[in-house]
Structure formats: structure tokens, C-alpha cells
């Protein structure tokens, strides 16, 4: 499955509303992949609408970022068509994500996956792990997602990091909901895990997270890592989440001290008539693109 840029479909469907042409696509340094799938969701469905909500909100962002002192879009951001959805199997959807991310990597561009349910992140990690030895996945989430299977299926959003940990090193941040078995897995596999309550009690831990990362990092963000007070639009909200500036501080430090080779923002479940969560998700994508692609106006990726 190759590139499917939004040629001729209009900027109303692209990230930031950027015009899509062959020239702009060829010049892009980052490629956004919308993946509207939530086939294994078991509590509150609707994250399939997340990518469209993020794209729509992104078109209301100011292009200038005061922290980076740049208009981040100038680094080059392209958008693919929505990934075609199949109901045949969750594994098939993971494979479609993998193929799309592989195509982006073949073009030397940064893949940015918008979900949709978190299981799809596995496809991105599989593609990157084949291209990059010793990949580290930085996993920001309220949930450990380390179950070997859930409700009789090994391919569930509750199992995604179980699979990821088999093809990449894993560092978890913000976890505050898991089973006893998942806790034992973290202990037995020596997975670096920075618990939500620990981060709240000891802010110095934020600076230690980067020490556990390898030189090349994929960042996977389930939006429920954030506190429900600022991110209620998720399927399984958990109290005690992290704050906006805490997450941004970590992401900027990771981008400065490691090579970020891709990232995803997953699990937005839009709430009708409540724009703030959609806008937060779009802003998070834009900020992280800025941290990775630019530093005070200079491209670094």
C-alpha cells in the first residue's frame, strides 16, 4: 500500500488546511496518516471519529508557535487520505498501518499516525522496528495495555504494548490502571514504568525518563494519559492524569536529546459541541512536529 496524498480533494481535509499538491508533498518532511478504526473497543466506541476531529480542529490553529518562534508548517507537512478500514480482522488493520508507515519511511519522511484505537500503533512500531535496530517506544498512557489477550483475542487495544514489547524496547509513562498480571509483567520484564502518582509526587522523575530511552525513539500517545479535566474525550478516562505543560516538557526534551523517528496521537473520542479536546489533540500534534522538525526555526530532522 503506497502513498495516497490528498491530491485534488481540497485543503479542507488536510492537517492545518494546507494545500496538497505533488510539489508540496514531495517537499514534505512529515506525513500525517489518519486511521479511523476502533474495531476492538469494548467500553465507549467512537475513536474512529478522532482523526477527522483532529484534522478539523487543526485548521483553526495559529500557524505561528510562540515557544519555538517559528511557523512549524514551513518544515513541510503532508496528509494522506484516511486509511481504508476493513472489518475482516484487527490484524489486517495493523498490517495496513504498517504498510502505510513503511511507505512514508521509504520516502525519508516522518510518519505521524492519528487514531483511532491504540492497537493500530503496533503497525507503526512494526514498520519502524524493521528499519531501525534497537528502537525504543515511549508509551504515554493511563493504561499499561500489556495483556496477552483480551476477551479471547490477542489483537485488542488492551494488548498493544504486549506486542510492541516483543519488537522494541518499551518505556511507559503515566500508567495508573492495570491488572495484577500486567504489573507482574512490568516487574519481570524490567520495563521502565513511571507511574502517574509517582510523577505527581516527585517532579524530578520527568527528567529521568529520557535516560531510559535509546538513541532512536517512537512516541505513542494515548490521550487518556492526560487528566480528564483537560482531556475528557477518551473512551476510558482515568483520574490523576498528567498535565499539558508536563507532557510538553517531556516531549521537547525527548526531541532535543534523542532522534524521534515517528509518533502517534490516539484514542480521541470526540464529544459533540465540546471543541476543547479536539483542539488540544491538534495542538499536541503540531507542537510535537515543531519539537522534532524545528528548533528556533532550524530543521533538525
**Percent with pLDDT over 90 in the chain:** 81
Q: How far apart are CA 141 and CA 235, in angstroms?
A: 12
CA 211/CA 13 separation, integer angstroms: 39
Question: Chain-wide mean pLDDT for the chain?
Answer: 92
Structural domain boundaries of the chain?
11-299
Q: In this structure, are residues 105 and 111 in contact, taking their beta carbons and an 8 Å threshold?
A: yes
> Would you say residue 287 has pLDDT above 90?
yes
Burial 192-205 (b: 16+ CB within 10 A, else e): bbbbbeebbeeeee
Condensed to tens digits (0 to 9), the pLDDT of residues 147-189 reads 998 887 888 889 999 999 999 999 999 999 999 999 999 999 9
Instruction: For the domain covering 11-299, report its CATH number.
Output: 3.40.800.10
Q: What are 121-150's pLDDT values in tens digits? A: 999 999 999 999 999 999 999 999 999 988
Residue 222: exposed, middle, or buried by beta-carbon count in 10 A (0-12, 13-18, 19+)?
buried
Say yes or no to pLDDT of 60 above 90. Answer: yes
Report the length, in residues, of the chain: 301
pLDDT tens readout for residues 227-274 = 999 999 999 999 999 999 999 999 999 999 999 999 999 999 999 999
Q: Which secondary structure element, helix H or strand E, spans residue 222, and what is its range? A: strand 216-222
- Please give the pLDDT value at position 214: 97
Cell 516538557 locates to 249
Asked whether 20 and 14 are in contact (CB, 8 A), the reply is: yes
- Quick one: average pLDDT of 18-44? 87
Closest Cα to residue 166, out of 137, 192, 194? 137
Cis peptide before 102 (omega within 30 of 0): no
Confidence of residue 1 (pLDDT cuts 50, 70, 90): very low
Q: How confident is the model at residue 73 (pLDDT cuts 50, 70, 90)?
A: very high
Amino acid at each position: 500500500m503506497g502513498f495516497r496524498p490528498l491530491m485534488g480533494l481540497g485543503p479542507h481535509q488536510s492537517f492545518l488546511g494546507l494545500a496538497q499538491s505533488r510539489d508540496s508533498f514531495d517537499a514534505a518532511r512529515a506525513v500525517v496518516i489518519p486511521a479511523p478504526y476502533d474495531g476492538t473497543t469494548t467500553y465507549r466506541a467512537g475513536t474512529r471519529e478522532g482523526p477527522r476531529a483532529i484534522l478539523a480542529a487543526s485548521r483553526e490553529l495559529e500557524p505561528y508557535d510562540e515557544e519555538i518562534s517559528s511557523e512549524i508548517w514551513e518544515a513541510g507537512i503532508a496528509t494522506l487520505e484516511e486509511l481504508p478500514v476493513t472489518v475482516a480482522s484487527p490484524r489486517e488493520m495493523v498490517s495496513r498501518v504498517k504498510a502505510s508507515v513503511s511507505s512514508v519511511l521509504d520516502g525519508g519522511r516522518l510518519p505521524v499516525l492519528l487514531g483511532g484505537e491504540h492497537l493500530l500503533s503496533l503497525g507503526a512500531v512494526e514498520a519502524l522496528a524493521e528499519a531501525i535496530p534497537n528502537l525504543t517506544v515511549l508509551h504515554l498512557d493511563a493504561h499499561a495495555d500489556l495483556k496477552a489477550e483480551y476477551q479471547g483475542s490477542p489483537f485488542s487495544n488492551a494488548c498493544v504494548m504486549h506486542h510492541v514489547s516483543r519488537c522494541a524496547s518499551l518505556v511507559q509513562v503515566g500508567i495508573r490502571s492495570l491488572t495484577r498480571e500486567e504489573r507482574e509483567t512490568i516487574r519481570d520484564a524490567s520495563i521502565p514504568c513511571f507511574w502517574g502518582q509517582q510523577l505527581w509526587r516527585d517532579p524530578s522523575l520527568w527528567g529521568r525518563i529520557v535516560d531510559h530511552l535509546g538513541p532512536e525513539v517512537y512516541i505513542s500517545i494515548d490521550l487518556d494519559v492526560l487528566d480528564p479535566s483537560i482531556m475528557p474525550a477518551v473512551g476510558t478516562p482515568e483520574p490523576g492524569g498528567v498535565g499539558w505543560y508536563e507532557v510538553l516538557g517531556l516531549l521537547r526534551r525527548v526531541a532535543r536529546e534523542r532522534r524521534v523517528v515517528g509518533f502517534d496521537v490516539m484514542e480521541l473520542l470526540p464529544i459533540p459541541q465540546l471543541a476543547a479536546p479536539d483542539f488540544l489533540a491538534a495542538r499536541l500534534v503540531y507542537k510535537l512536529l515543531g519539537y522534532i522538525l524545528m528548533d528556533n526555526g532550524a530543521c533538525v530532522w
